[in-house]
Amino acid sequence: MIDLDQMVVPLEALEPESPQELRDELLEALREAAAQRLPGLSIELDYVEAEQRFTFYAFVKITEANLEHARTLCEVELGEELGFDLWWLNTEAASFLRVEPPQWARFRSAAERAVRATIARRRDHRALAAFERWAAEHPPEGRRPAWHPEVEPVSLAQTTTFEVSASYYGGPAWLEPDAPWPACPACARPMELLLHLDPFHTPLADADAPPYELFQCTECGEGRLARAVPGDAELRPSPLDDLHCRPKHIVGWRAVDDYPSFGRAAAQHEAAVARRGDKLGGWPARLQGTRDEPFACPECGAETTIVYQLDSDSHAEHTWGDGGRLWLHVCPRHREHPQVSWECS
Ligand SMILES: [Zn+2]
Ligand SMILES: [Zn+2]
């Protein structure tokens, strides 16, 4: 059985036909996780058949500069090499390698996630079942609430009675009296409003957040914009005659539990992943590999929070690349400058 606390992964039991192929795929994913979390170390990765486990060793050459420090760990001579098992690093060894404890913890969880994601991608029930015991002892972490919108189509005429506190898809936007309608930076045509959202009047009940709007160029597909609605904004009809995103009023929210993308691979935890589809709050259901980094604020570098996820071919009636997704996210310190990011598979 799989035991990621020990990095034990019985390849032959998981994939009797091509254990070598699975081993190479896992080595590649683990190498990437280790290189990202422990940059600057020269790491040798291996799979020890007898123990059915992956190992990570860092080797350090002993020089005049580190000889004294190295001798506090063991007897060693100039020119020798010291090897460290990175999976089981004690504090002294970590200090010698200049690896901070939180950094080491992030390396361990990134490596665990890399294994889970690689196995989950194969969609093999044998492999998923092998996770069950370990997963049962390691309940999913990172639960957050999210809400799927319940929408009702409305006519353009009905949107003229919307208050700024409404949340809706498509149609008019809230702009300052003199502000031009947002144009696409690539093709200069007017962009379409996909979403108007007032976080205070949603289950987020965020009293400090202004209403937000998301625009997308539906002509060339390149331009997109997230903006905060200023206090003096007025409702303005869309200048476009032909709307791809037809107006829909968000009339309710359906609460769900949401988890980080690759939270669990085991069958019993299939629901413990970031949910697809349009949703308020929660975790982004990211599409690119094992990337689990939060989106950073471009102004202060802080972790931003996800306000909304728009999925391809959903209420916004738009497709980002090949079935991509788009996120409206905001820095807790810069609520007036919402960000927009997207990915496709
Ligand atoms: Zn455009
Ligand atoms: Zn910030």
Dump pLDDT digits (tens) for 211-235.
Answer: 999 999 999 999 999 999 999 999 9
Q: Which residue has the higher pLDDT, 262 or 182?
A: 182
pLDDT for 114 equals 86
pLDDT tens column, 173-211: 999 999 999 999 999 999 999 999 999 999 999 999 999
Residue found under tokens 């059915």: 52
Report whether 255 contacts 203 (CB < 8 A): yes
Question: pLDDT at residue 270 above 80?
Answer: no
Q: Which residue reads 């994939």 in tokens? A: 15
Give me ligand 2 centre to Cα 296, in Å. 8
Cβ neighbours of residue 16 closer than 8 Å, sequence gap 6 or more: none
Query: What ligand is nearest to the CA atom of residue 191?
Result: 1
Query: Distance from the CA of 338 to the center of ligand 1, in angstroms?
Result: 20
What is the C-alpha to C-alpha distance for residues 22 and 12, in angstroms, rounded to an integer?
A: 9
pLDDT at 295: 87
Q: Give 115-151 pLDDT, tens digit per residue.
A: 887 887 776 777 777 777 777 777 667 788 999 999 9
User: Does residue 41 come out as left (phi exceeding 0), alpha (psi in the -120 to 50 range) or beta?
Assistant: beta
pLDDT tens, position by position, 27-82:
999 999 999 999 989 899 999 999 999 999 999 999 999 998 988 888 889 999 99
Q: Which of 146, 145, 131 is nearest to 269 (CA)?
A: 131
- How many angstroms separate the CA atoms of 88 and 284, rounded? 32
Is the pLDDT confidence value at 266 over 50? no
336 C-alpha vs ligand 2 centroid, how far in Å? 10
CATH 2.30.320.10 residue ranges of the chain are 144-343
The ligand that comes nearest to the alpha carbon of residue 329 is 2
282: DSSP letter: S
Closest CA to 74 of 91, 87, 59, 92: 92
From residue 158, give the alpha-carbon distance in Å to each of 234, 237, 249, 307: 16, 11, 10, 26
The number of beta carbons lying within 10 Å of the beta carbon of residue 30 is 23
DSSP 40: T
Please give the pLDDT value at position 215: 98
Residue 291: the pLDDT is 53
Q: Which ligand ends up closest to the CA of 189?
A: 1
Nearest to 174 by CA among 189, 193, 191: 193
Query: Which is more confidently placed, 3 or 171?
Result: 171
Asked if 59 and 83 count as a contact pair (C-beta separation under 8 A), the reply is: yes
Record the pTM: 0.66
**DSSP per-residue codes, 188-216:** -SBPEEEEEE-GGGSTT--TTPPPEEEEE
For the chain, the C-alpha Rg in angstroms (whole number) is 25
Q: What pLDDT score was predicted for residue 292?
A: 57
- Distance of CA 329 from the midpoint of ligand 2 (Å): 11
Q: What is the mean pLDDT of residues 265-270?
A: 45
User: CB–CB of 281/188 below 8 Å?
Assistant: no
What is the structure's pLDDT at 342? 94
Tokens linked to 249: 């009023």
Tell me the pairing of strands 168-169 and 248-258: antiparallel
How far does the centroid of ligand 2 lie from the alpha carbon of residue 339, in Å? 10
Dist. CA 340–CA 159, nearest whole Å: 25
Please report the pLDDT score of residue 123 as a whole number.
67
**Helices assigned H by DSSP within the chain:** 11-14, 19-37, 64-71, 91-96, 101-122, 125-130, 132-137, 156-159
Per-residue confidence (pLDDT) for residue 263, from 0 to 100 = 43
Torsion of CA 26, 31, 36, 42, to 10 degrees: 160
pLDDT at 268 over 60: no
Residue 272: pLDDT band with limits 50, 70, 90: low
Rounded distance from Cα 209 to ligand 1 centre (Å): 29
Q: At 271, is the pLDDT very low, low, confident or very high (cuts 50, 70, 90)? A: low
Express each pLDDT in 277-302 by its tens digit. Answer: 999 999 888 887 445 567 889 999 99
Per DSSP, what are the bridge partners of residue 252? 150
The closest ligand to the CA of 185 turns out to be 1
Contact call for residues 292 and 113 (beta carbons, < 8 A)? yes
CATH number at 144-343 = 2.30.320.10
Give the helix/strand (H/E) hosting 144: strand 144-153
Rounded distance from Cα 218 to ligand 1 centre (Å):
7
pLDDT tens column, 83-123? 999 998 888 888 899 998 888 888 998 898 888 878 877 76
Residue keyed to tokens 């580190």: 66
**What pLDDT is stored for residue 128 in this prediction?**
72
Residue 265 has pLDDT above 60, yes or no: no
Q: Taking residues 3-12, what's their average pLDDT?
A: 89
* Mean pLDDT for the stretch of residues 9-25: 89
